[in-house]
A = this chain, B = another copy of it.
């Protein structure tokens, strides 16, 4: 609807070069692609959809829309300890999506295909009356049985995160005019963290076979650690003062402490939250160095004797519980 066959061919031509390092993609000209994850390995697969005006803003730069759509899926692979193998793209356009928009979108995707060394294996382009939407299916590889699960946290584990927390939610607040920032450099940092998450692939690879449980933080720190607790049958205590903040986020919540809940509850950071059995906690600095990504202990996992199973409690500097907003983002 709105696009003739030849226009689909133009779109296909934009994406075919992204498959050139994958012989099994057959230049995107066959009905399916073939791939192999290597002897002794199994495939890990995930799919996520982003929709204009729901998951990204109509005036977000098209190249960043493409890159974020890919990166949130790579982040899921990272959280499972998998190495990316390739991806497929189901792109739904409408008659208002211009050729220039698509060219910029494809250019952004090409940049990340090169950056992560992950080829486009296939796809489908459709046209309809709805908003622009992209579903990416990402495929990775892990040693057989080595995928890190959500359900592997045990009482006594230390609870850790990569990078810094809260930046993306504060960046979104800033774009929506809800946050003041004192400096342009801080503003740029927060918005970039919202628009272009960094999938923690090297961290995930370092954690495979070591972390008890892992996921990527997309719904919010407390909500996502709650998912680990629910899947593992444990509870978590987080020390607020140990949560790693960027300079920009620190400045924002110091200026306006009412934004603290965004650190606990905001999503879209795509950092990893993971647990390590206590004996391995001392390895954290070495793992962080191996991955080239900061890793910080923010709390610990406890059992039924210390907290309600499935619960996540944030403690202030004096050890008192802090009230945190319930749940994360409603969009999914």
Instruction: Give, as a whole number of angstroms, the nearest-CB distance from A56 to chain B.
Output: 11
Cβ-defined contact, A130 with B51, below 8 A: yes
Q: Which of A106-153 contact B (CB under 8 A)?
A: 121-131, 133, 135, 137, 139-140, 142, 144, 147, 149-151
Give every chain B residue within 8 A of A255 (Cβ-Cβ). none
In the assembly, what is the distance between CA of A2 and CA of B32, in Å? 35
Using Cβ atoms and an 8 Å threshold, which residues of chain B touch A122? 45-47
Q: Mark A168-197, 1 if CB is under 8 A from B, else 0.
A: 000000000000000000000000000000
Asked if B216 contacts A332 (CB within 8 A), the reply is no
Q: Answer whether residue A330 sits at the interface, using C-beta atoms and an 8 A cutoff.
A: yes
How far in angstroms is the closest Cβ of chain B from A131? 5
Total interface residues on A, using CB and 8 Å? 66
> Which residues of B lie under 8 Å from residue A123 when comparing CB positions?
47
Contact with B along A80-93 (1 / 0, CB 8 A): 10100000111010
Bound CA–CA A251/B200 (angstroms): 62
Complex Cα distance, B144 from A42, in Å, reads: 15
Q: Which 10 A-B pairs have the closest CB atoms?
A: A130-B130, A32-B46, A90-B135, A51-B128, A31-B76, A137-B137, A36-B42, A135-B135, A54-B128, A47-B88
14 A-B residue pairings within 8 Å (CB atoms): A24-B42, A31-B216, A32-B45, A32-B46, A36-B42, A45-B88, A46-B122, A47-B89, A48-B124, A50-B126, A90-B90, A126-B331, A128-B131, A129-B130
